[in-house]
């Protein structure tokens, strides 16, 4: 393992805390290899979830490298020193009462011992055992029984390792999983950040440093999403790619299947509808399935049966190691098309207007850790609100969340962690190489999801800087090459005349906070300034526009008449000023409005943030503010005006 060199005479106690390994230190970008199918049980696959209590230890040594020097992975973590219980999945920051852990930067260590079923451990080369992490923030190194099995850079996407050889070699020994996790952000990570050392010994303790970031949410860290062990046969389905086209009477499902473990195999496919009826069959690693009279995947409030999905069962049979093997995987498939014009966004040939939200994976105690109760509550609130869409601001969300978007028909703008790209050094080749890999990982994970209608490669970068032109031209071209079926955007807050990345996007996404961050308190300027914003962008680029962020902070229960900033009344009044302009421009080329934000969320401490960002229309505990009712009335009204809304939903809206 390579250690970052010390930055000055203080030596190893400084940048060794970064210990961000050779790949990160050298800026090495490795093309994504293999598939990343979501782990699902089948007749040939078993699944063991590893959520619950793990052993945990933060490395508080001055250089944050004691765990590596003492090789904590070689023995049970409890034998290295004091450990505490830590829930997985969860952020570690808010679990204890220790303020040092809440704001900790550096390496932390997790460990879990698990007993595997005996049938998984037969050393006959026919069973493959895989360890998979839904995500861990930010840089991860994983050992099994003291042997390193995988490293991964990036805090929001899955990674896995084949551990068959290790666990099958010692079938009577518990499987001990050790994870070293580093949440340090550098100018070349996504999101970027920097470490600042405070050298004034009259003001700061020895070796004092802080993590600086240029984004407005808390840098929660930990094993944030499920950890599982799953099995496949040694000949297995590694990846599936599906695209769809349709007309009124027939749909075509194009597929590609990757099989690993043998070159001699037979492959069969069957597509079933939601009632279990087979509607199409195929064979071979690539081809096309013809679906007569298809049920299309429609967004919420565009059809009486939104989110309709078929199920593609893929089965491979092969002879390997003298044994007949069979692997089965079932992939949900939504049949839908996307098309954009200079003024419209079309789903299945019908105009679609984004009336939705921006969100965060954020809640009390658990931080960014996946929580099923919270997820289901959020989707109930989205549907109550009449929201048909959201952006994954500002990182990919959990696959479990994406599954529900597919199921309920919630449209997603899928955004990578490219937030806070403000420093010139974050536009260099080292950063770009990593950004390209992140987009490969994101598309590999979410390419088959009907809810995902557009990729967003960044949020509010310094796109007016000269290097931004080449950076975004390259990044967007790479994204389009990986997935030609979806439009690509990034979200800008730059001046329309100076933005160097906008020429390469398919849809203009603009953030603006008129009467909040400037002209504070002056609601009367919104119509003029917002109208000018839209007209300038459209005149320059002739592309459809989404108002991708707008809003105002409000402290729940704080009231003022006339409306004053931070009151619930001011938030309501600001929204209504924006809406009056949206209603004019959505008749022309504005194709969406996404409020900032769905719910209040935690940020770093600062004089402009009182226990976090308060721009939510719901509190952090998911209770509605007055603005939630303003949006609910608006969103259901927009849905009611839609020409493609079925009578059954229109009658429901009238009842509301």
Q: Which residues are catalytic?
A: 460
C-alpha 141: how far from its chain's center? 21
- Residues near 654 by Cβ (< 8 Å), separated by ≥ 6? 640
Q: What are phi and psi of 458, to 5 degrees?
A: -170, 160
Please say whether the beta carbons of 624 and 617 come within 8 A.
Answer: yes
- Rounded CA-CA distance 464/552 in Å is 25
Specify which residues 160 forms β-bridges with: 132
Phi-psi region of 225 (alpha: psi -120 to 50; beta: other; left: phi over 0): beta
- Rounded CA-CA distance 203/73 in Å is 37
For the chain, give the longest Cα–Cα distance.
81
Please say whether the beta carbons of 390 and 412 come within 8 A.
Answer: yes
Other C-beta atoms within 10 Å of 424: how many? Answer: 12
Q: Which of 498, 401, 475, 481 is nearest to 490 (CA)?
A: 475
Please say whether the beta carbons of 274 and 376 come within 8 A.
Answer: no
Could you give the C-alpha distances from 415 to 154, 195, 398, 407, 653, in angstroms and in order? 14, 25, 12, 20, 31
- Coil, helix or strand at residue 449: coil
- Rounded CA-CA distance 582/429 in Å is 39
Axis crossing angle, helix 568-585 with helix 626-641, rounded to the nearest 10: 20
Q: What are phi and psi of 488, to 5 degrees?
A: -130, 140
Q: Which of 626, 225, 161 is nearest to 396 (CA)?
A: 225
Long-range contacts of 23-31 (CB under 8 A, 24+ apart): 23/151, 23/153, 24/139, 24/153, 24/186, 24/188, 24/189, 26/2, 27/188, 27/429, 27/430, 27/433, 27/434, 28/433, 29/433, 29/434, 29/436, 29/437, 30/437, 31/437, 31/440
- Rounded CA-CA distance 446/443 in Å is 5
Residue with tokens 């099994």: 144
- Rounded CA-CA distance 105/182 in Å is 7
Mode of pairing for the β-strands spanning 84-88 and 52-58: antiparallel
């Amino acid at each position: 393992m390579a250690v970052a060199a010390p930055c000055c005479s203080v030596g190893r106690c400084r940048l060794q805390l970064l210990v961000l390994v050779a790949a990160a230190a050298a800026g090495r970008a490795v093309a994504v290899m293999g598939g990343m199918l979501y782990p699902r049980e089948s007749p040939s696959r078993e699944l063991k979830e590893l959520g619950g209590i793990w052993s945990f230890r933060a490395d508080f040594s001055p250089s944050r490298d004691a765990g590596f020097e003492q090789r904590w992975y070689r023995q049970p973590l409890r034998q290295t020193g004091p450990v505490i219980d830590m829930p997985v999945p969860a952020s570690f920051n808010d679990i204890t009462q220790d303020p040092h852990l809440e704001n900790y930067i550096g390496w932390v260590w997790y460990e879990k011992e698990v007993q595997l079923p005996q049938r998984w451990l037969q050393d006959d080369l026919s069973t493959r055992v895989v360890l998979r992490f839904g995500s861990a923030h930010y840089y991860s190194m994983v050992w099994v029984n003291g042997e390193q099995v995988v490293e991964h850079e990036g805090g929001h996407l899955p990674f896995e390792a084949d551990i068959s050889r290790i666990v099958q070699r010692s079938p009577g020994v518990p499987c001990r999983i050790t994870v070293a996790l580093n949440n340090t952000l550098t100018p070349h990570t996504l999101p970027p950040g920097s470490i600042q050392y405070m050298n004034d010994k009259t003001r700061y303790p020895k070796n004092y440093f802080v993590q600086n970031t240029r984004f407005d949410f808390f840098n929660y860290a930990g094993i944030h999403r499920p950890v599982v062990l799953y099995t496949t046969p040694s000949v297995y389905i590694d990846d599936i790619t599906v695209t769809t086209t349709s007309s009124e009477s027939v749909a075509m499902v194009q597929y590609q299947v990757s099989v690993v473990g043998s070159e001699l195999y037979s492959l069969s496919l069957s597509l079933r509808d939601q009632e279990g009826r087979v509607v199409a069959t195929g064979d071979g690693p690539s081809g096309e399935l013809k679906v007569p009279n298809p049920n299309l995947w429609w967004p919420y409030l565009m059809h009486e049966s939104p989110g309709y999905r078929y199920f593609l069962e893929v089965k491979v049979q092969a002879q390997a190691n003298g044994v007949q093997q069979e692997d089965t995987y079932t992939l949900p498939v939504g049949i839908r098309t996307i098309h954009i014009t200079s003024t419209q966004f079309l789903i299945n040939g019908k105009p679609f207007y984004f009336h939705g939200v921006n969100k965060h994976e954020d809640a009390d105690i658990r931080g960014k850790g996946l929580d099923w109760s919270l997820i289901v509550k959020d989707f109930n609130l989205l549907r109550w609100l009449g929201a048909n869409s959201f952006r994954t601001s500002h990182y990919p969300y959990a696959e479990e969340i994406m599954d529900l978007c597919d199921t309920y028909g919630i449209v997603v703008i899928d955004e990578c962690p490219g937030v806070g790209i403000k420093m010139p050094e974050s536009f260099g080749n080292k950063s770009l190489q990593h950004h390209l890999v992140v987009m490969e990982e994101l598309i590999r994970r979410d390419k088959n999801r009907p809810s995902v209608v557009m990729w967003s490669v960044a949020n509010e970068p310094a796109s007016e800087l000269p290097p931004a032109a080449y950076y975004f031209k390259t990044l967007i071209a790479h994204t389009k090459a990986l997935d030609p079926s979806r439009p690509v955007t990034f979200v800008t807050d730059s001046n329309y005349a100076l933005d160097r990345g906008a020429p390469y996007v398919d849809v203009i996404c603009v953030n603006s906070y008129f009467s909040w961050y400037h002209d504070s308190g002056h609601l009367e300027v919104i119509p003029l300034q917002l109208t000018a914003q839209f007209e300038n962008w459209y005149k320059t680029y002739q592309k459809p526009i989404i108002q991708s962020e707008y809003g105002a902070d409000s402290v729940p229960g704080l009231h003022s008449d006339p409306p004053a900033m931070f009151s619930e009344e001011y938030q309501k009044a600001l929204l209504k000023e924006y809406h009056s302009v949206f209603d004019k421009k959505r008749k022309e080329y504005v194709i969406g409005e996404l409020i900032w934000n769905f719910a209040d969320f935690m940020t770093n401490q600062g004089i402009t943030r009182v226990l976090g960002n308060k721009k939510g229309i719901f509190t952090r505990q998911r209770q509605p503010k007055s603005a939630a009712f303003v949006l609910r009335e608006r969103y259901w009204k927009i849905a009611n005006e839609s020409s493609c809304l079925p009578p059954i939903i229109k009658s429901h809206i009238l009842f509301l």
